[in-house]
Amino acid sequence: MRTLKLKLTAVNSKVIPNIAVDGKFVKCKKNQYGSYDATIETEKDEIELSFTRDLELKAKLWWLYAIISFIVSIFGIFEPFYDKKCVSMNCVFKIKLNDINEVTAKFNTLSSSGKAVELETPNQFEEVKNVYEVDKTAKKRWIILLVIKIVVWIGIGILAGYFISKLF
């Protein structure tokens, strides 16, 4: 049995990644210093460690969730903002394991160019993919959602003006 001690540092609150080891999602616990820790046990000599960031606007029923949250949040007043840059993360590493392994993943700032994660480990590893990328589908959906919100607010303003003029 091999043990992998995974530590995530410099995790931005906007970019909390999904972590998977050989396709199985791993939950990390936040420690007292603000970084995240996880302990993974496996029988394999080599694992595939991946970090991804899935955007809400990329989901199948994104429009339904957007409509419901827009209405519940009193027409967007209390709604949290979507990431207008629509940057997703896609990182895959293959790591050769010893008996006890320590891996530290340091996340770089959110940008559409450069490496997303710096991996520090004494083990041998291969970087398959390590990028932040702009998700074009989510970006189009964000623009559509913004236009719809503006149209709704203009409509609400016109209706409010109409009802106010009827009162006086």
**Does pLDDT of 94 surpass 90?**
yes
**Which of 6-10, 60-64, 114-118 is predicted with the least confidence, judged by mean pLDDT?**
114-118
Domain residue ranges of the chain, discontinuous segments joined by +? 2-167
Query: 164: burial class by Cβ within 10 Å (0-12, 13-18, 19+)?
Result: exposed
**Which of 23-27, 73-77, 150-154 is predicted with the least confidence, judged by mean pLDDT?**
73-77
H or E segment at 142? helix 136-167
More confident position, 123 or 143: 143
* Helix, strand and coil in the chain, % to nearest 5: 25, 40, 35
Q: How many residues appear in the chain? A: 168
**Both tokens of residue 12?**
């931005």
- Are 19 and 38 in contact by the 8 Å Cβ rule? The answer is yes
